[in-house]
Amino acid sequence: MAAARLPPGVLNLRQFVHRQKVLSLYRKILKVIHQIPNEGDKQYLKNWARHEFKQNKNATDEDAVRMMLTHGNLQLKELEKMLQLAK
């Protein structure tokens, strides 16, 4: 059976799943940042998150994307810990 050809620009299943994980991580980070009481810190962290995700938005290597997701999840956990300590 011949493999189906996808039009240019269409994501394959793995790329789609990685994209969904990245978007989910971004939303989670923004939710945690939203809980920060200090407006200056909140704005700084929003800008940091936006910059990090924009900087890597064109990454296509699956191993690199997985590594960045792992790193992002670790940073999310660290951010959540720091928020708990600040309360």
Reduced to 3 states (helix: H, G, I; strand: E, B; else coil), residue 21 is helix
Reduced to 3 states (helix: H, G, I; strand: E, B; else coil), residue 3 is coil
Between helix 13-34 and helix 39-55 the angle, nearest 10°, is: 170
In a domain, 2, yes or no: no
In a domain, 19, yes or no: yes
pLDDT at position 2 over 60? no
Q: What is the pTM of this model?
A: 0.85
Residue 1 confidence (pLDDT): 42
The more confidently predicted of residues 11 and 87 is 11
In a domain, 72, yes or no: yes
Confidence category of residue 3, pLDDT binned at 50, 70, 90: low
Residue 79 confidence (pLDDT): 94
pLDDT single digits (tens) 26-73: 999 999 999 999 999 999 999 999 999 999 988 888 999 999 999 999
Question: Dihedral angle at the C-alpha atoms of 23, 68, 17, 9, nearest 10 degrees?
Answer: 90
In a domain, 46, yes or no: yes
Say how many domains are in the chain: 1
Burial grade of 71 (CB within 10 A; 0-12, 13-18, 19 or more): exposed
In a domain, 5, yes or no: no
The CB density around residue 76, as the number of other CB atoms within 10 Å, is 17
Range of the domain at 73: 13-86
In a domain, 58, yes or no: yes
Confidence category of residue 4, pLDDT binned at 50, 70, 90: low
Residue 80 has which token pair? 């959540």
